[in-house]
Amino acid sequence: MEYRIERDSMGEMQVPADRYWAAQTQRSYQNFKIGTELMPREITHAFGILKKAAAIANFKLGRLSQERRDVICKACDEVISGQLDDHFPLVVWQTGSGTQSNMNANEVIANRGNQIYGEKLLHPNDHINMSQSSNDTFPTAMHIAATVHIEDGLIPAIEGLIDTFKRLEKENDDVVKSGRTHLQDAVPIRFSQEISGWRVMLEKTENMIKDALPGLKELALGGTAVGTGLNSPKEFSTEVAKAVAELTGKAFVTAPNKFHSLTSKDELVFMHGALKALAANLMKIANDVRWLASGPRCGLGEIKIPENEPGSSIMPGKVNPTQCESLTMVAVQVIANDVAVGMAASQGNFELNVFMPVCIYNFLQSVRLLTDGINSFNNNCAVGIKADREKMRHNLHNSLMLVTALNPYIGYDNAAKTSKKAYKENISLKQACVELGFLTEEQFDEVFHPEKMA
């Protein structure tokens, strides 16, 4: 491999000749050989957005020439698009402020910009990092990445599954089935009513997520090192937030208190709480689906789900509820991530939180997994759910809990006796009720209508 020499305040470093990063990135790359978890690409791309916005704001405020602004913007566009992903090699397990990732962005944009321009025009610190500090850029990148991928990825995924459930509700409004509580037979319910519970779970958590978004749209940029805005023009924070908003199409604003935005990660904790609530609901929905689809002969078998792949290497013909299993594993990971996000957010010492990389790594993994998991579950399972109406009718009319309909006519205690006799002797509720002398056959038929109980 060929190398070139790059210099920083600590001296010279050998850097691969075909990479745009420079000395500070190389130091981090060599000093933190920990794990395989690279800084999320969502953060890399968010740095491209904020560095472009900073160049636009600095030019507007008379601090940066138009020539430098234009070259920085061109290089940033390549970062945003992912063209330069291979030039961002740093792992999550680095300094807790994300300083090396900020410098990685500064160095790559400067060197790529100089290559575009044809000579050395840009300096990583003096121009790309102008009016900024790692301490305000990294939390800004966190908020940009979180907001963009929630609004553009996760929320549409949730709404897609909601739409599927709305369709299934309409298709199954005339289907009455046995309800279940404690995994035991309960009184009847319409299948559409059961599905409506799933739908509202998603609608509720979507609203929780939307309620948490305004906090993520507040940006720390302009606070620089400790929140005072040292070396940043007074108008920079407002102008750079305006530029980020224009570049993303999102309603970003400058954070009203930069001391808070540098040291606290409570907005991310609050949002991840909503993500955890979504994960918990998805766990319940996926479990309901696989219980209802269990069988095909020895389970509930009340619904059919798509058969996507063989389920066993030894049992021919076996098909498993794999999409349900995948989604429940996603839910487990998101719930676990919530612990990491909360613990990381609690580590704000004085003017700075120093657990930001691990916080955003887990946060963005949750967003990514939930988005992909919901889309996969919807496209490969939910859209193909079919009610087995005959099985539902059979289970309904064999449920002993239909005896609840007799309570107003023979009383709770007599209804309990009827149910126990029917179960013990394996006879119908009607036969048990008549044999016990509580109702005649005619009276029983007059009051006993399972389909009307839902």
Catalytic residue numbers read 182, 312
Burial class (CB in 10 A: 0-12, 13-18, 19+), 350: exposed
Of the candidates 171, 169, 185, the one whose C-alpha atom is nearest the C-alpha of residue 396 is 185
In whole angstroms, what is the distance from residue 1 CA to residue 168 CA?
59
Of the candidates 265, 267, 257, the one whose C-alpha atom is nearest the C-alpha of residue 222 is 257
In whole angstroms, what is the distance from residue 135 CA to residue 225 CA?
5
Strands (E), 368-417: 386-387
Asked if the bond preceding 233 is cis, omega within 30° of 0, the reply is: no
Rounded to the nearest angstrom, the gap between the alpha carbon of residue 444 and the centroid of all alpha carbons in its chain is 52
Residue given tokens 């120093």 in the structure block: 354
3-state secondary structure of 83: coil
Three state DSSP letters for 7-71? EECCEEEEEECCCCCCHHHHHHHHHCCCCCCECCHHHHHHHHHHHHHHHHHHHHCCCCCHHHHHH
Using CA atoms, how far residue 201 sits from 161, 278, 306, in Å, is 11, 8, 23
Of the candidates 140, 84, 108, the one whose C-alpha atom is nearest the C-alpha of residue 24 is 108
The secondary element (H helix, E strand) that includes residue 366 is helix 356-380
